[in-house]
Amino acid sequence: MPEASAPRFRAGRNIAMKVPPHQFEATVAFYRDVVGLPHVGTFGTNELFELGEMRLWLNPLPTVSQAEIWLELQTDDTVEAARHLQAHGVARCDKMQWLPDDFDGFWMVNPAGIVHLVAHPLEEPDLTEDSDEADHQDQ
């Protein structure tokens, strides 16, 4: 049970599936053609699909040998959230993937090894191919 002074966490809208590049096209085709999820668009190397009220981000990532699921947690106070998590032995992993300098959030890993983006709620991203964020998604 959360402490009285603990920051409030809630599910974010985004689920990222990091996929080895040799499996990426087949995975995109699976969600698009076999399952029939609505395709939202392309963001850098990511393909986005609606997954109910969630967004499924498929991202080819050369550093993984099998698919990984990354989750998003939102909080209104990321500084307090970072302090709270650190006090509970949860390490930040900011080098997991590039985030813009002005992004109000950070990466962490839960005890089971699942990566989480902890972020302040944001507006929807610009889904154009030429955005600065799209150029850094694999870093």
pLDDT in tens, 125-136: 544 444 444 444
Give the pLDDT confidence of 37-81 residue by residue, as tens digits.
999 999 999 999 999 999 999 999 999 999 999 999 999 999 999
Q: List pLDDT tens digits, range 17-48.
A: 999 999 999 999 999 999 999 999 999 999 99
pLDDT of residue 12: 92
Predicted pLDDT of residue 123: 46
Cα 97 → chain centroid: 9
pLDDT in tens, 99-110: 888 889 999 999
At residue 138, does pLDDT exceed 90? no
Mean pLDDT of all residues belonging to the chain: 86
Residue 34's pLDDT is 95
Please tell me the CATH code under which domain 10-122 is placed.
3.10.180.10
Buried b (16+ CB within 10 A) or exposed e, 46-85: bbbbebeeebbbbbbbeeeeeebebbbbbbeebeebbebb
| Whole-prediction pTM | 0.80
**How sure is the predictor about 6, in pLDDT bands with cuts at 50, 70 and 90?**
confident
